Structure 1
Amino acid sequence: MSDEAVGRDDAFEADVTMTRNDGRHRYELHAGSELAVIILIRDLPGHMDLIHTETQAGFEGRGLAKVLVRYALDDVVASGKRIIPHCPYVARFVEKHPELYAQYTDLPAEL
């Protein structure tokens, strides 16, 4: 994830790590050693379907879900796949940042 990928309004705790966990079909954000946010995914030929975003209890309101969504979307684009935003949170994020993701997105209704 580049330094430019997180904007000033996307402040978050410094001790976070993000990964794509293919074995569990999800993106994960860990705060320290604790799992804080997940995005469930379905890896399809030519597409990555982002199904559901979930913030674990105790981590709400810190902006961590937004950080993981941006990481996941950037990862999908970098992989050469297209985004399917089934998750309403992800879909709203894509709508708010059309300059970054609209050209790489296929809405579920369009498929």
Structure 2
Amino acid sequence: MSTPGQAATTPRVTRNDETHEYEIRIGDDVAGIAGYHDQPGRILFTHTEIDPAFGGQGLGSVLAHAALDDAVSRGLTIVPYCPFIQAYLRKHPDFAGTVDWPEATPPRAD
């Protein structure tokens, strides 16, 4: 059973295929994003941002976990160019079998 106001403060992560971003929302506010590029069978994570107004709440980790879980559930290989996603993956080896570590700089969005 939820308490009043809980739904408004519970982080919710969704994939926005139009903008190529996973969004973490608190209520109606976008608290942060994880940008990505699609390739056949792969997802390239390029950057992660949390709005400073929502900093210090662990939302980056919530966002990273949800985005990576979604990628794995869709059968995609994770290619982490984003330093935050790289750090998250190093701390969470349960994703190790689905990661292809990049050796070059991230591709440019055109």
Q: 1: CA distance between counterparts of 2:74 and 2:60?
A: 21
Q: Deviations over 1:21-76 (max 9, x none)?
A: 00011000001110001001001111000100000130111100100100000000
TM-score, length basis structure 2: 0.84
Show the counterpart of 1:38: 33
Q: Alignment partner for residue 56 of structure 2, among 56, 61, 65?
A: 61
Q: Give the aligned partner of residue 97 of structure 2.
A: 103
The Cα of 1:14 is off from its aligned counterpart by: 4.5
Larger Rg: 2
Over the matched positions of the two proteins, sequence identity in percent amounts to: 39
Deviant stretches of 4+, over 6 Å: none
Letter in 2 for 1:82: T
Higher helix share: 1
Match for residue 90 of structure 1 among 76, 85, 89: 85
Q: What's 2:4 paired with?
A: none
Letter in 2 for 1:60: G
Inter-partner Cα distance in structure 1 for 2:85 and 2:52? 19
What pairs up with 1:19-30 in 2 under 5 angstroms? 19-30=14-25
Residues in 1 aligned to 2:56 and 2:39: alpha-carbon distance in whole angstroms: 31
> Are the counterparts in 1 of residues 33 and 49 from structure 2 also a CA contact under 8 Å?
yes
Q: Deviations over 1:7-30 (max 9, x none)?
A: xxxxxx842211000001100000
Question: 2:9, 2:27 within 8 Å by CA — same for their partners in 1?
Answer: no
Q: Tell me the TM-score normalised to structure 1 length.
A: 0.83
Aligned length: 97
Deviation at 1:109, TM superposition (A): 1.3
